[in-house]
Structure 1
Amino acid sequence: MAILVTGGAGFIGSNFVLDWLAQSKEPVINLDKLTYAGNLGNLVSLEGNSSHVFVQGDIGDRSLVSRLLVEYKPRAILNFAAESHVDRSIHGPGEFIQTNIQGTFNLLECTREYWLNLDEQAKCNFRLLHVSTDEVYGTLSPDAPAFTEEHAYEPNSPYSASKAASDHLVRAWHHTYGLPVLTTNCSNNYGPYHFPEKLIPLMIVNALAGKPLPVYGDGMQIRDWLYVKDHCSAIRRVLSAGHVGETYNVGGWNEMPNIEIVKTVCTILDQLRPKPDGSSYDTQICYVQDRPGHDRRYAIDARKIERELGWKPEETFETGIYKTIRWYLDNPQWVQDVQSGDYREWVGKQYGSVATP
């Protein structure tokens, strides 16, 4: 028995692999392309662990994926592999089309061939769990009800459009071919090992480095925030008990505007790592031009997964953000290692000189 995890060196994928192996002896075959956000440093604690088999490769490589399926015979595949940053998708949508759409198609086809050749019991027990995002649903007005699983897809960015397309492919392979799939759509994750181009880790590392804290527009874009380890527990629950063909929204019940998130980070850093001059980190906040087509509000209604599978998040935003900031303070070497020349070049391109060294 084993599971195949794609994208298992990225932020959410690596947290899932670490949590899985902390509570299970079932081996993980970890396939990751190791692009800019894939980082073996996330998995250093698994060195020498025979239950973790890492393979560098692309879900778009059909011969590789097929070989891994035949060799390791996983009972389940969990697809975390994706290009996931909206800002990057605006500057270069091609990679998002290739990985999120073409890559998912390839994974589905390899999986279908593998699944059809299983014996009846193994075929019945097999699952492919596709990890997606709430951004496929589009944007909400301030007073609109939160996204449910029945909400129409209205993606507004190249990233969310590519993820919506991948969700549709997964659904179609289930309805057309009978492939036993599950889909999860999560809200904004945060926590350990988060690559510091996203809001929360960017604010933490820039604050500690004495750099400006760039906030898009008026900072009133609202998101639901989900601690990554809660997300991992939800995925484990959906894998073990989810109904084949179903979609489950996973959220943290924590709707907040971006500027409030940034100020909360500053307040906690003021307590845990006060500045020598006694000033607050919030003096480093600056407002920059909003990105094109920026969705104003996302919100997840996570009642279905609680009602049907008994899952709900353990962390409040207050406990989760404290743990997250504490982790970054305790792991300065990880932060230094991921801030390569490519990363600095990206931050400069996205936010201009305001956020660069």
Structure 2
Amino acid sequence: MILVTGGAGFIGGNFVLDWLAASDEPVLNLDKLTYAGNLQTLTALEHDARHVFVRGDIGDTALVPQLLARYRPRAVINFAAESHVDRSIHGPSDFIQTNIVGTFNLLESVRGHWSALPDDERAAFRFVHVSTDEVYGSLAPDDAPFRETNPHAPNSPYSASKAASDHLVRAWHHTYGLPVLTTNCSNNYGPYHFPEKLIPLVILNALAGKPLPVYGDGQQVRDWLYVKDHCAAIRCVLGAGQVGQTYNVGGWNEKPNLDVVHTICRILDELRPRADGQPYASQITFVTDRPGHDRRYAIDATRLADELGWKPEETFDSGIRKTVTWYLDNEAWVSNVTSGAYRDWIAQQYER
């Protein structure tokens, strides 16, 4: 069995679904079910005995050791995190508590469990920490993409909290010998993405006839990674990664935000035209840029390709079409997540 934390969120939920589609090894899924955690993502596993769901916090120093002792997972894959930059600017406290204190408590719980294992189980055990490229800071237009050797230089409360968690994981390996692996990924997109992030927000606002908010001039560049490709990379790292190593995971797809929005609009024009015949791009609205907005992220995933043979299967064009189509075909899931609390947040953030 493996333990997946944050397995009802966007990336974690996709990972659990993909894992059980490809393997019969059970998953113990620990998720706090904050606003972005959604059990409806895992509806297909509702009666699957291979999936054991527990609602709880990675920082719970009573619950986590109990789960580790009872289920004895051979690995922990830590997705649990507060992850939205805008939310971190308005309320950083939750990010400090979950991403730093929560990671510390999880590491300590796992260290206690790992230390007591028989020698063969201790040698085989792994802790995979899933992190972000935002810990590296911002790139100039002509800078080389981030490599694993780039120093951490975070610029938002969110990225600072994730950078701190990366350092904790590294320290627990070098000080205590905990067998850890860290991944730093670029911007994910795909099915089950909570619609406060750019791509699902644009899709749903377009269909609802609302403005499509674009920060500043829309020329912030991101490297876009289809979530299923990211899940495959994590499986590779878990299976064959070098203990103590960091692996960058990127899609090799640098795109300005405004280009991403226009691409979504063109696909919607084709698949779900507006009743009035006007293009969805007419709904694009530029809003005041957020504080400290990083200009460019880009990932060099050469290490992952050279050492473990991973590379993304989806291009941006194929992945974004699959994503738009998924949202068009899954209106029930969308309706479930766009509840009152989410609408209040969108109104506060973008419609002022």
TM-score, normalised relative to structure 1: 0.98
User: Which residue in 2 is equivalent to 1:350?
Assistant: 349
Match of 2:52, SS?
Answer: strand
User: What count of residue pairs does the alignment treat as equivalent?
Assistant: 352
Give CA-to-partner distance per residue, 1:216-244, whole Å, 9 cap, x none. 00000000000000000000000000000
Task: State how far apart, in whole Å, the 2-side matches of 1:338 and 1:112 are.
Answer: 35
Task: State how far apart, in whole Å, the 1-side matches of 2:207 and 2:276 are.
Answer: 13
Question: Displacement of 1:276 after TM fit?
Answer: 1.2
User: Which residue in 2 is equivalent to 1:212?
Assistant: 211
Match of 1:62, SS?
Answer: coil
Question: Displacement of 1:352 after TM fit?
Answer: 2.4
Match runs of 1:1-357 below 5 Å:
2-353=1-352
Question: Displacement of 1:277 after TM fit?
Answer: 1.3
Task: State how far apart, in whole Å, the 1-side matches of 2:336 and 2:206 are.
Answer: 17
- Which amino acid in the other structure matches residue 206 of structure 1? N
Task: State how far apart, in whole Å, the 1-side matches of 2:217 and 2:16 are.
Answer: 37
Give CA-to-partner distance per residue, 1:190-233, whole Å, 9 cap, x none. 00000000000000000000000000000000000000000000
Give CA-to-partner distance per residue, 1:278-323, whole Å, 9 cap, x none. 1100000000000000000000000000000000000000000000
Match of 1:162, SS?
Answer: helix
Task: State how far apart, in whole Å, the 2-side matches of 1:349 and 1:291 are.
Answer: 13
- Which amino acid in the other structure matches residue 264 of structure 1? T
Task: State how far apart, in whole Å, the 1-side matches of 2:23 and 2:10 are.
Answer: 20
Task: State how far apart, in whole Å, the 2-side matches of 1:295 and 1:208 are.
Answer: 29
Give CA-to-partner distance per residue, 1:332-351, whole Å, 9 cap, x none. 11111111111011001111
Match of 1:290, SS?
Answer: coil
Match of 1:322, SS?
Answer: helix
Task: State how far apart, in whole Å, the 1-side matches of 2:53 and 2:264 are.
Answer: 34
- Which amino acid in the other structure matches residue 66 of structure 1? P
Task: State how far apart, in whole Å, the 2-side matches of 1:166 and 1:255 are.
Answer: 26
Which sections of structure 1, spanning at least 5 residues, go unmatched? Answer: none
- Which amino acid in the other structure matches residue 164 of structure 1? A
Match of 2:77, SS?
Answer: strand
Task: State how far apart, in whole Å, the 2-side matches of 1:229 and 1:63 are.
Answer: 33
Task: State how far apart, in whole Å, the 2-side matches of 1:225 and 1:269 are.
Answer: 19
Taking only aligned residues, the RMSD between alpha carbons, in angstroms, comes to: 0.4
